[in-house]
Amino acid sequence: MRSLPLEGHAHFLGKHIAYFETTLDSGIERSTKEFKKGDIAFLSSTGSICFFIDDASPGKIMTPIGKMLENIDALKDVKSGDVFCLYEETA
């Protein structure tokens, strides 16, 4: 949360994962290899934030960091090069 806001260009890992690279440098915590649609994970090897478009087992160990609660299917409209922006919404 201290690193927010984060922004980067969209890339894809197969058909099920959209991600963007960051400058974050953190180890692996609570790692897992299986994710559900809407999950958000951190891939420490590349410093990437990953968004799961569908259920997936990417074969890479990632740290789960959140879950999209609404508009998950909007990820299907993301194109390579689009900009992802993560920020903390304040009232």
**What is the per-residue pLDDT for 44?**
87
Whether the CB-CB separation of 57 and 34 falls below 8 Å is answered with yes
Of 2.40.100.20, 1.20.1050.10, 1.20.1600.10, 3.30.950.10, which CATH number belongs to 6-68?
Answer: 2.40.100.20
Q: Give tens-digit pLDDT for 1-12.
A: 667 788 999 999
* Predicted structure pTM score: 0.86
pLDDT in tens, 3-56: 778 899 999 998 999 999 988 777 667 778 899 999 999 998 888 999 999 999
List the chain domain ranges.
6-68
Q: Are 33 and 61 in contact (CB under 8 A)?
A: yes
* pLDDT of amino acid 27: 63
Instruction: With CA atoms as reference, report the closest residue to 86 among 10, 13, 30.
Output: 10
Q: Which token pair is 33?
A: 């290899």
Vertex 52: Cα angle to 47 and 55 (nearest 5): 135
